[in-house]
Every structure is written in C-alpha cells, then in structure tokens.
Amino acid sequence: MTQFNGPAQYGFAERWLPRLVLAPSFLLTLVFVYGFIAWNGYLSFTASRLLPNYEWVGLAQYETLFANERAWVAVKNLFIFGGLFIGGGMAMGILLAVFLDQKIRGEGVLRTLYLYPMALSFIVTGTAWKWMLNPGLGLEKLVHDWGFTSFTFDWLVNPDMSIYTVVIAGIWQSSGFVMALFLAGLRGIDDSIIKAAQIDGASLPRIYWRIVLPALRPVFFSTLMILAHIAIKSFDLVMALTGGGPGFSSDVPATFMYASAFTRGQMGVGAASAMMMLATVAAIVVPYLYSELRGSRNA
Amino acid sequence: MHDQNKLWRIALYGVLLYAAVYYLLPLYVMVTTSVKSMDEIRAGNLIALPMSITFDAWTKAWATACTGVDCNGLSGYFWNSVKMVIPAVLISTSLGALNGYVLSKWRFKGSELTFALILFGVFIPFQVVLLPMAQTLGWFGLARSVAGLIFVHVVFGIASTTLFFRNYYVGIPDELIKAARLDGAGFWRIFFKVVLPMSTPIVMVVLIWQFTQIWNDFLFGVVFSSGDSQPITVGLNNLANTSTSVKEYNVDMAAAIIAALPTIVVYVLAGKYFVRGLTAGAVKG
C-alpha cells in the first residue's frame, strides 16, 4: 500500500489548487476590507468635504467631530439605545426561553411566533411601528377609544423621547432571537443536574438562578456580543422609524455618519466618525475573538 | 402542593400566550390596516377589525404610490431586489463553500491566518468602507447600478458564508477525504463527489441566511444605488417618508408587507434552517 505522508505526495496542481481557489476571496478581503479601512482612515485626515480632497489636515476632522453637538447626541443615544435594547432584549429573551423550556404544549408554534420578526427587514419593522406609535391615529387613539381620553403618547414626535421608540421596536424585533439562543443553550444542559437539585429541595426559580443560568455564561456572552454589535451598527431601524428626528434628537452614530458623508457634504467628518465606530466595535470584538480562538485551540 | 403546581402552569401558559400576542400584534395591525380605507382608519382604531375589505391600498402600493418624484409604486424596486438577490446569493454561497472546503480540508501554511483575516470582515461596521466603495464603483462604471450592488453584497458576504461552510466542513471526518484520495480522486472530484453531497443542510442554511441578509439590506442600497436601480427596502423607506398632503397608512402597510413577503415566505417554509443559521452564526462568532 502506498504511504501518504502529506503535501510532498500531492501533484503540483494539488498543492497549488487550494491556494488558487482561496486567492480571489483573499484578495477581495485584502483590498475591500483592509485596503478600504486604510483608505477611509486616510480620508479622515484630509480636507474632504463634498468630494474627496487629499489635502492633509491632520486631526482637524476629528476636532470638528468632537466639537459637534449632533455627534454627541448620537453617542448619547447609542448608550441609551444600546443599554435598554441589550438589557430589555436579554431579560425578555431569557424569560421566554426558561418558560418555553418547561415542557410546553405547542412549543414549536410559540417559538416560530416569537422569532418571525427576525426575518423582517428593520425598514419593515420601522414602518410598522411608525404607524402604530403615531400620535394621531395609533396607540394613543386606541387608548382614547377605550375611555382614557387624557392619555398621551407622543414619543415619536417628542425630541426627548424619540430614541425610546427605537428601543421599543428594536426589542420587539430581536428578543425572539435571544430566546432562540438561550433555548438552544438550555437544551444542552443535563436534566439530571436539575433533578438532583430538586431532590435536595431547591425551588425551581432558585435552581434556574443559581445553577442553570450560570452554566449558560458562554451563551450569555455571545448574545451580548451580537446585541451590542446590532446596536452599534443600527441604521435602518432609526432611518425608517424616526429618520434621526425630530431634528437630530434620535440620531445614532450610523445615521450621523451617513448624513455627514452623503447628504451634508462633510466627507472628512463622516470618515472620522466611521473610524470611531470601527474602533468601538474592535474594542468589543477583538478581545472576544481572541478568547474564542484561543479557547478553541485548547479544546 | 398539587394546586400550587397547577396555578404555576396556568401562569406559565398565560405569560407565553401574552408574549405571542405581543409579537403578533404588529403583524395583525399591518394586515388589517392594509385592507382598510383611509376613512375607516380615521373612524376606527388600531386594532379594530376591518368593516369592509378593500385591496386598493395594495394595488396602489404596488403600482401607483409615490416614492419621491416618481409615482410607480414598489413594483420596480421589487424586481430590482430580485435581480440583485439571486446572483448575489448564488455567487457568495459558492465562494463560501469553496473557501470553507479549502480552509478545513486543504490547509496550507498561512491558511489559518487567511481565515482569521476573512473572519474579521464579519464584524466590521460597514460605514468604514462606504466612502472608498462609492468611489471605486464609480471607477468600475458600476455606480448606481444593480450590478454594483451585487458586487458589494458578494464581497461583504464572503466572510459569513466562508465562516458557515468552514465550521460545517471541519466536522466532516478527514478519513473520508483520505480514502477518496487513495482512490485517486483529486481536489475537485473530492469536492463534488464527497463533500458537496454531504452539504445539503449547510447549503440551505447559507442560502437562506444570505437571501434574508441581502433582501433586507438597506445601508448598501441607499448608498450605492439611485433611481431605477434601488432595492425594495429603499423603495419602502421612500414611500413611507414621502410627504404628501394626506398620509396613507393603509398604503404604507401594504407596501411594508410586500417588502417583507419574500423573507416571511422563506421563514415559514424553511424556518428550521433560518433558526439554525442564526444560532450557528451566533455561537461560532
């Protein structure tokens, strides 16, 4: 029988074919991801306004960015939206997952209903919630019809509250996803642990709180990553629901970047804000990826 | 003890059903609003059942509603999305399958680094590539065209399709590949005769994942297309935000359902693969 000892045994084609097949994707990534990040980084140090202008201006665009009130509103909104979206989505998703895990009749149907918003575009979600939350004919009128005529719900057009409408729609869309992730995690937990704890006389909420949920730490962290990631990138939902308004009260970094770069002729500021977004994502993702990859190498 | 248990079960089902209503209500409101007339919408309320059903809003949303200056409804946008999504999904999925095959079964010096480099593409906020890409598409003569959108979706889809296939193919035993090689099969023969026939589940997952992602995309659509090359999400957003003297919510809702229909159909028919894609993508990165 022939011995196969590795690459030396392959023909010339077999040795180069894999590299050749991977090459287009490798080059595309190199140019369109890394090259473009560098290019965008360069743009952020230039005087570009309506059109690219490669005159070097150092940190001037970043100074403009940090002096911009609208940019700070966007950052503040990201914290409000991100915090409530992640917290609310997690709480709801985990609760539903734990409840669904109690040998529920019709679990499959319920699961399907909880998760379908994830298949929708954020533009669809935004359009639907914009109609429901509009003060004239939406929820407000419904509650009036029920007899509570003093009820007002004008968050959509109230600059102090507009960002919270994005939270409402965001949680509606994404909490089912959290449920799916945690349910998958719960199914991976050995039933005998729960049974043993029950025999010891521990109550069900206590078992979940002290034993089951701590065992789901990895699921918790990956869900946190994904939700944080969705929050930082969120653009469509805000555009469809509030358009960043009233005024710029519900702007987030992604809509700020879009407006600067493509509608307000401040390309340099747009490029600088995109770099700040990248830095934020990298600060979250790189440590996570590092620990994940190191973990899988040890496993 | 037994009674308490029963009470607990009732509360459990109560909460779960309440949640189901919460998720379904917007869909119910969308559908009922879309078949009401504006007079009825003004007279009634959000959750009232329609007294008479009319599909006027639907035909208007499809063919004559204004999306800015033009008043041709969503039909053109819808077909743009179809023309965009089919090639983009097929090309990005094929590339992902080949990349995954190489990165799991034909590793070479530097292939792990290549994988790490590609993987990072899953996470970047796309804002950081918009400006250079707009310029580059202009140089290629692809600016503001469906072809340009296909290109963008392929380039930035590679990262996730590669990740999906690579993680799946890692689970195929190396012995199978070795045995095929002993039989004299080469790189392509092994891929088409051994690996691909085992790939149906992951191919389904990736096709559905890419379809949903690309159909629902708004950012690339709004930045890289204009006028007669815009996809459905941009059309819907234009339609819902076009200021006319009278806001026609029934038309907005019909338009939103039209935009959502393809992905909802896919979800209903192949939800299993959709969920698998979501959770796999999540757990693996």
Residue-wise pLDDT tens digits, B76-95: 999 999 999 999 999 999 99
Under the banding of pLDDT at 50, 70 and 90, the label for residue B281 is low
Please give the class, per CATH, of domain B75-284: mainly alpha
Could you tell me if A291 lies within 8 Å of chain B, comparing CB atoms?
A: no
Residue in A with minimal Cα distance to B137: A32
Q: Domain for residue A137, yes or no? A: yes
Res B245: pLDDT: 63
Q: How many CB atoms lie within 10 A of CB B279?
A: 18
CB A85 within 8 A of CB A167: yes
Domain containing residue A97: 64-298
Domain boundaries, chain B: 2-54, 75-284
Q: How many CB atoms lie within 10 A of CB A151?
A: 13
Residues of B with Cβ-Cβ distance to A19 under 8 angstroms: 108
Q: Domain for residue A219, yes or no? A: yes
Q: What is the CATH number of the domain that holds A232?
A: 1.10.3720.10
Q: Domain for residue A104, yes or no? A: yes
> Has residue B196 got a pLDDT over 60?
yes
Q: What percent of chain B has pLDDT over 90?
A: 60
A30, A283, A299 from A288: Cα distances, Å: 22, 9, 16
CB within 8 Å of B96: residues ≥ 6 apart: B157, B158, B160, B161, B162, B163, B164, B165, B206
SS3 for A56? strand
Q: Domain for residue A282, yes or no? A: yes
Domain count, chain A: 1
What single-letter amino acid sits at A15? R
Under the banding of pLDDT at 50, 70 and 90, the label for residue A94 is very high
Average pLDDT over residues B262-278: 87
Mean pLDDT of chain A: 86
Res A286: pLDDT: 82
d(CA B144, CA B151) in angstroms, rounded, equals 12
CB B93 within 8 A of CB B273: no
B70: left (phi over 0), alpha (psi -120 to 50) or beta: beta
Q: Domain for residue A101, yes or no? A: yes
SS3 for B43? helix
Res A4: pLDDT: 47
A229: left (phi over 0), alpha (psi -120 to 50) or beta: alpha
A29, A99, A169 from B121: Cα distances, Å: 7, 36, 27
Res A5: pLDDT: 45
Per-residue pLDDT of A195-219, as tens digits, reads 888 888 878 788 888 888 888 888 8
Q: Domain for residue A45, yes or no? A: no
> Has residue B284 got a pLDDT over 60?
no
> Has residue A1 got a pLDDT over 80?
no
CB within 8 Å of B141: residues ≥ 6 apart: none
d(CA B145, CA B143) in angstroms, rounded, equals 6
Q: How close B63 gets to chain A, by Cα (Å)? A: 19
Could you tell me if A52 lies within 8 Å of chain B, comparing CB atoms?
A: yes
Q: How close B154 gets to chain A, by Cα (Å)? A: 10
Q: How close A239 gets to chain B, by Cα (Å)? A: 8
Question: Smallest Cβ distance to B15: which of A99, A132, A289?
Answer: A99
Average pLDDT over residues B93-107: 95
Per-residue pLDDT of A155-194, as tens digits, reads 888 888 899 999 999 999 999 999 999 998 888 888 888 8
Q: Domain for residue A36, yes or no? A: no
Average pLDDT over residues B105-109: 90
Total residues belonging to chain B: 285
**Burial A164-199, CB ≥16 within 10 A → b, else e:** bbbbbbbbbbbbbbbbbbbbbbbeeeeeeebeebee
Rounded to 10 deg, the angle between the A12-29 and B75-105 helix axes is 140
Look at A235 and B121 and tell me if their CB atoms are within 8 Å: no
CB within 8 Å of B181: residues ≥ 6 apart: A4, B190
Least confident of A64-68, A77-81, B82-86: A64-68
Higher pLDDT among residues B285 and B230, named by residue: B230
Total residues belonging to chain A: 299
Q: Domain for residue A27, yes or no? A: no
